[in-house]
Amino acid sequence: MTTPSQVAYDVVALDRPDAPPVPYARITLDAPRRRNALSLALLDELRAALDRAAHDDVRAVVLAASGSAFCSGADLTEALAQGMTVSARRLADVLRDLLALPKPVVARVHGPVRAGGIGLVAACDVAVSADQITYAFTEARLALAPAVISLAVLPRMTPRAASHAFLTGAPFTAAEAAAWGLVTSTVPLADLDTEVDAVLAGLAAGDPQGLAATKELLNADTLARFDTHVDHAVALSAELFGSERARAAMERLLAR
């Protein structure tokens, strides 16, 4: 199946650049006014775009974002109104799709990433980050926990780094994210596309069958652990988001 040059979505864009280093699909989180928050609509469209890319005749997928931020995490307004039972499950589905997609996924991280957005970055096979941006697991400060995203994050990060980052909720630099294993490399923002193109050029040397089999090998343990713990993680996330303490904390944050 061939993907048209541009597919219209509301909060996600899917396209195939005309002259890539290797044929690839680019999926762009495109809700800049909400800082690409992980609303149910965005998660649904992201999952649909990943499914389409999986069946397209492309060698790789690039996950990017528009606006000033890459992703601000959960959509707190939606969480307060609707709870997180459905969204937590859908986020888990998206993370699993990224890990199991039979094509390499490269994250192009141009702006700040918070909470659930870090799960997206961690689930990608290669993550190239602008060097001036920050990351933060803010959940504990909102009476929450990075439950669902931990299934993708913990296999990437060193245990000590994860403990510090999860418990303090403090922002950390792109350089720290790279040292801790969360991202692959950091470059100045002006060089971000050049670095992503270099990664894609490297993937061009791989045969599609070889790339798919190698990715399956690399992510086998992560996916096995994911499937064992996902139901508990989704239930915990929904429970915490619905608690009085978390609701009060989210309301205070949104009132700022």
Mind listing the pLDDT tens digit for each residue in 71-121?
999 999 999 999 999 999 999 999 999 999 999 999 999 999 999 999 999
Q: Which residue segments constitute the domains of the chain, with CATH numbers given? A: 6-208 (3.90.226.10)
Residue 224: half-sphere exposure toward Cβ, Cα within 13 Å? 6
pLDDT over 60 at 26, yes or no = yes
Q: What is the mean predicted confidence (pLDDT) over 2-12?
A: 63
Q: What angle do CA 222, 224, 225 make, to 5 degrees?
A: 65
- C-alpha to C-alpha distance for 19 and 63, rounded to whole angstroms: 17
pLDDT at position 2:
37
**Higher local confidence (pLDDT), 5 or 65:** 65
DSSP-assigned beta bridge partners for residue 174: none
- Could you confirm whether 139 is annotated as catalytic? yes
- C-alpha to C-alpha distance for 64 and 71, rounded to whole angstroms: 10
> Could you count the other beta carbons within 10 Å of the beta carbon of residue 211?
18
- C-alpha to C-alpha distance for 38 and 240, rounded to whole angstroms: 17
Per-residue model confidence as pLDDT tens digits over 172-221: 999 999 999 999 999 999 999 999 999 999 999 999 999 999 999 999 99
pLDDT at position 1:
33
> With a threshold of 0.85, does the pTM exceed it?
yes
According to DSSP, residue 109 is labeled E
Cα four-point dihedral sign 85, 87, 93, 95: negative
> Could you count the other beta carbons within 10 Å of the beta carbon of residue 224?
10
Q: Which two tokens stand for residue 73?
A: 């995490």
Q: Which of 45, 78, 139, 195 is catalytic?
A: 139
pLDDT over 70 at 161, yes or no = yes
- C-alpha to C-alpha distance for 255 and 45, rounded to whole angstroms: 28
Backbone angles phi, psi at 221, to 5 degrees: -65, -40
- C-alpha to C-alpha distance for 180 and 156, rounded to whole angstroms: 8
Q: Cβ(141)–Cβ(115) under 8 Å?
A: no
